Amino acid sequence: MDTTDVLTVSEVAERSGFAASALRYYEQEGLIEASRTAGGQRRYTRSVLRRLAFIRAAGNVGLTLDEIRQELSDLPANRTPTKADWHRISGHWRIRLDEQVAALEALRDKLDSCIGCGCLSLRQCGISNPADLAASTPEAPGAAYLPPLLRRQQPR
């Protein structure tokens, strides 16, 4: 095998961990590209595996598909991206990673105290959140005293 190998949908799905339907969706959304055989079957260059790993990592960091699309659009279309290309686009979300690390550390440090969720089950809640005052703050609904990154709504 070398970097010029072409891979089938099933080979890319197996190697990347994405379902074949996700590969078709990402292609439809312009995040990855495939060529077609004479019979219409998709074929991917091996470099698509790096793009898919980026899509997975970026999604795990919290980037939306639109943000991922924007980042990937900055990669060269006429050649396999280099380490410098990947470094340039991943630098854009370094700040987000730092913010998430800080939010997770705050969660770790506050989880055994009042987080403003409204349960009022801890002795500390009576001091930090008497009569569930957090429910009437702009940070509600949810655990109002957690960092904003940890309170955002998850897509359904």
What tens digit of pLDDT does each residue of 28-57 get? 999 999 999 999 999 999 889 988 998 998
- Tell me, what's the pLDDT at 4? 65
- Separation of alpha carbons 4 and 134, rounded Å: 57
What's the pLDDT score for residue 25? 96
61-90 pLDDT, tens per residue?
788 899 889 888 888 766 677 888 878 877
- The confidence band for 26, taking pLDDT boundaries of 50, 70 and 90, is very high
User: So what's the pLDDT on residue 24?
Assistant: 96
Angle at the Cα of 99 (from 92 to 29), degrees rounded to 5? 45
Q: Where are the domains of the chain?
A: 1-74, 83-155
Whether 44 and 36 have beta carbons less than 8 Å apart is answered as no
d(CA 85, CA 94): 15
Q: Report the DSSP beta bridge partners of residue 43.
A: 35
d(CA 28, CA 3): 24
Residue range 134-153: mean pLDDT, rounded: 76
Arithmetic mean of pLDDT, 106-126: 76
Q: Under CATH, which architecture does the 1-74 domain have? A: Orthogonal Bundle (1.10)
More confident residue, 97 or 154: 97
Residue 6: strand pairing partners: 45
13 confidence band (pLDDT: 50, 70, 90): very high
CB atoms within 10 A of CB 92: 14
Q: Tell me the H-state helices in the chain.
A: 9-16, 20-28, 48-61, 65-73, 83-90, 94-110, 123-128, 148-151
Whether pLDDT at 156 is above 60: no
